[in-house]
Structures are given as structure tokens and as C-alpha cells.
Chain A
Amino acid sequence: MRKVAVIGVGNSRFGRRDDAILQEIAFEAFKEALEDAGITQEDIDLSVVGSVGTRLYESLPAVPINEYLGLVGKGPIRVEAACATGSAAIFTAYNAITSGCVDTAVAIGVEKMLEVDTPTSTAVGGRGGNYLWEFHMFGTSFAAYYALFATAHMAKFGTTEEDLALVAVKNHKYGAMNPKAHFQREIKVEDVLKSRVVARPLKLYDCCPISDGAAAVILASEEKVKKLKVEDPVWIEAIGFSSDTSSLSRRMDYVGLPAATQAAQMAYKIAKVGPKDIDFAEVHDCFTIAEIMAYEDLGFCKKGEGAKMIREGETYIGGRIPVNVDGGLKAKGHPLGATGCSMVYEVTKQLRNEGGRRQVPLKNYVALTHNVGGHGFYVYVMIFRR
């Protein structure tokens, strides 16, 4: 199988982007990625657009985006995998290259979520579970789904609301240092505990914001990397994937995401590394409980010991394995389709030692991304090396 490298990354500012339409924020990320790679549209063979798109007035967003970016004739393929859409777009671009079909491909993740009101956004999201058997009768939302996991995790392992708050505190600390983050201010445990209840035990500050944003990742084959004389390629060592039921009632338990464990094991096996070899990780902290479950599902600690990791500060810069040092979904924001690409943006910058004030120490030059769609419907775990 041909090797594939990340040769350029771009990330728009995340947040309430009522200054721009979908195409315009996609352009922001795409332009930065092109300039980062030092190439033009001419060098790109395929465009893959990742957008969940269910809140948009454009029904088929990939086409207008492709047109706006000057990519007519290069794809596009529209990809959707709920909140893991960005990773699915990268996976699609990666496969087109490993197969020998193309030499260079761009994955563009983009989402506008704030053009509709909050009850509409909550409904569109909640209907992304299993409409007929869950939303229709019970008005489920993703905050409620993750709250169901939080309740079960707390009951089984003694995880507390303070533990959940510690995740938010960490991620806000790094968000405050990220000029592209939706929330750029630090918070304290008391702020989280005092914030209004959204879906008990989750409070407002346990939840990622509803955000607009875009991120772009340009991939190339090893031959193309040589031809373009790319100085600092970041290699995709492995992509692991798995999935789970849409109906929460068909799960074995509510204390972890089996698809994440399966995707991680697949990625570790392909990359021939283990959790101990990972220098740092970007994980899917859409809600604080999700980051604690991610530590466990990825094997950074034993099942049930996720809370202990955050209590002991192991996932801060300088800790055993820094996690979400860009602010995570929690503080940087979570524009669904953009998130997976934004994780790879951060990993690429960090592996190149371009992390600035947030630079993590690199030992093995190996990093991991963990991107979850829904409550574990889709999971992609990717491993990168420089």
C-alpha cells in the first residue's frame, strides 16, 4: 500500500461566524492549507468535502464549496459520518491515494451551525440518533445521550461532577491560548459546577459550544511528496475505524464506546505502536464525559480510571500524555464536519514543532486522533508520525 503524508493544513477561526457564508469559511481553511503545502489547485487531483450539512440552506453543499474554491473538475465527493465527518473525509482522500487512483487529495471539513435557532439545531442533532425509536417519543439530544453515559459512568466507577469539570478547566486553559478557538478564556471548577443544567449531570460548561468553522487537510503520496520536495511531511501511519448502533437501547452498557476501542486497536495494530508510544492525542470531547471515556477506550488507562487521569493532571502539557492542547471540541468548538480535519491540523502543527506556547514535548514523534460520530455510531482513530 502506498504511503500517504499530510503536506498542508488549514483551519479557519472557529466560533459564531455570522460574518461569512459556508463557502467563505471553507476558503479560509483551504487557502491556508494550500499556502502551507506551497501548492496550487493545479496540484490537487481530488476534493472531498465533509459536511454534515443538516442545518444548511444548501442541500448539497459540496458542489458550491468546490466551485468557490476553484476546484471544479476535481471530484467532489461529499462525505458524512456525523461528528466524525472530517475524519471520514480524510479516510476517503487517503484511500484514493493508497489505491493509486490519485496522487494528491484535499479533505475539506466545514459546517455552519448557527444560522438556525437553538431548538432547531438541537432537534436536527437529536434526530441524528435514531429518530423513529428515540427522538420521536423522547426528545433526545446529544447532550442527553452523553448525560446517560455520564450517569452510568458515575454510578459504576465513582466518577464525579468535579472530575467532569476538570476536563472543561483543562481544555479552556488551552483554548485561551488558541487564537482560533471559539472560547478563549480560562474557567474554574466552580464556574462549571455553577453553570446551568443542560442534561443532568451535564451542565453548560460540560458541553462543547455550537460552532461554525472549517479545516482543510491536503494529502499526497510518497512519490508526490518527493516530487513536490515537501520538507516536513507528517505520515499517516494508520487509520482505524469502527461503528455501533444508532439505538442507544441496543448497547451492552453505557460506560464506554466499544467502537472507539475497536478503532483504536485496529490503528495500533496497523501502526505497530501501543498507547505508551503516543506523545499526545486529540480526542473527541464533545462533552466532558466523552474525554474521560476516550482515555479509557484508547487504552491510556484502565477502564474506570479515566477520572483519575484528569485528577492527576496526566493529560496536561508536561503530563504523561497531553490531550486536546488546542482546547478540544470543548473550548475550540465543534463545527461537526470540520472537527476531524481540525484535529489533524493540530497534530500536524505539533509534530512539526509549530505549537508555539502550546507545544507539547515530542519523544517518539507519534500522535493520535480520536474522532467520534454521534454517541459512538462512527469512530475513526488515526495515528501520525513525523
Chain B
Amino acid sequence: MAAQERPTIRSRPLTLVHEIPIARIKRFWDGLKEGKVYATKCKKCGQLYYPPQVDCFKCLGSDVEWVALSDEGVIETFTESHLKPQGFTHYEEPYIIAIARTPEGAKVMGWLEGISADKARVGLKVKITTTIKPDGYPAIVFKPTETS
């Protein structure tokens, strides 16, 4: 069947850009600039939260301490994404999204760098670091500490 030109009209454009308040979670975003990934721990019941949250849903307390997670991780799973959503189309190469488990039992999402997807594997040991990308956005980055 030949492709058919169908008539359309264009909607009025809508731009949505949010100013996201980080007053209560600033430690996390500052941590990324210092090379650290922070979780929260409820001072009352000890529950660890990653991603961090400042209210404990277990005991309903809102007194948490910020704890820097260990920089040692083990890859639980990963994918090399060739799909570029709006906001990421300026990244030229595919990026590897991975999840690493820390000794504290937290699971951290990050970009796996310094290894090809062919060589990456579940169980790979990595160092958990952070970076500020050239576009100004921070990221958590995993670097292999062993050869695959």
C-alpha cells in the first residue's frame, strides 16, 4: 500500500521546564559534585533509603541522617541504550545504564563507562563515581575495577 499524505493541523506549542525544589535533598545533589552518592537513614528506626527520602514510611519519622554509600559496587544488570529520549539526543554514543549493588545493600543506577557492552557482565566489580556532564547535568558513573 502506497504511503498516503493525510491532512493535519499543527497544535500550538507547549514548553514545560520545571524548577524542582531540592531544599530537603540538597545533600544528594551536592554529593554528586563531590564524587559521593548519598542515601538517607532514619535516625529512629534505622531504615536505609536509596533513592534518598527525608520522610520514613516505616516509622513516619522525618529525622534522617545522610550517609555516603561505599564506592564499591557489583553490577546486577545493565543495558546499552541506543534509544535517545528528548533531552538526551545530544549524547552521540549509546550509553550503558546499569544497576550496581553496594556493600550496604543499596542498589544504585548509573552509567557504566570505560568498558564496552560486549565485555560488560552481571557480577562485574565497579567503582562508583560521579561526574558533571558537559551539558551541566550530574551523573553517577560506574568504572570497572576488574577486567571482565
A and B held together in a complex? yes
Interface positions of A (Cβ within 8 A of B): 18-19, 57, 119-120, 122-123, 125-126, 130, 132-141, 143-144, 147-152, 155-156, 196-202, 247-251, 253-254
B123 to chain A: which residues have CB within 8 Å?
155
B78 to chain A: which residues have CB within 8 Å?
148, 151
Q: Which of A135, A152, A197 contacts B76 (CB 8 A)?
A: A152
B117: nearest chain-A partner, CB-CB = A200
Say yes or no: is B80 at the interface (Cβ < 8 Å to chain A). yes
Q: Given A132-B20, A139-B91, A151-B122: A249 and B107 within 8 A (CB)?
A: yes
Tell me whether chain B's interface is mostly helix, strand or loop, or mixed.
loop
Is the Cβ of A123 less than 8 Å from the Cβ of B87? yes
Q: How many A-B residue pairs have CB under 8 A?
A: 116
Interface positions of B (Cβ within 8 A of A): 6, 8, 11, 20, 50-51, 76-89, 91, 94-95, 97, 99, 106-111, 117, 121-123, 137-140
Apart from A133-B109, A137-B138, A249-B109, list 20 A-B contacts with CB within 8 A: A18-B6, A19-B6, A119-B89, A123-B86, A132-B51, A138-B109, A139-B84, A139-B87, A140-B97, A141-B85, A199-B80, A199-B82, A199-B83, A200-B79, A200-B80, A200-B81, A202-B79, A247-B51, A249-B108, A254-B77
Q: Which of B51, B95, B107, B108 contacts A139 (CB 8 A)?
A: B95
Which of A126, A137, A202 has most B Cβ within 10 Å? A137
Smallest CB–CB gap between B33 and chain A, Å? 13
Top 9 nearest A-B pairs (CB, nearest first) are A147-B79, A123-B85, A139-B88, A123-B86, A133-B51, A155-B122, A122-B85, A152-B77, A249-B107
Is the Cβ of A144 less than 8 Å from the Cβ of B77? no
Is the Cβ of A139 less than 8 Å from the Cβ of B138? no
Smallest CB–CB gap between A177 and chain B, Å? 18
Smallest CB–CB gap between B136 and chain A, Å? 12
B85 to chain A: which residues have CB within 8 Å?
119, 122-123, 125-126, 135, 139, 141
A198 to chain B: which residues have CB within 8 Å?
81-83
Is the Cβ of A122 less than 8 Å from the Cβ of B108? no
Smallest CB–CB gap between B108 and chain A, Å? 6
Q: Given A152-B76, A152-B77, A249-B50: A144 and B83 within 8 A (CB)?
A: yes
Smallest CB–CB gap between B26 and chain A, Å? 13
Is the Cβ of B81 less than 8 Å from the Cβ of A141? yes
Complex: how many Å from CA A261 to CA B110? 28
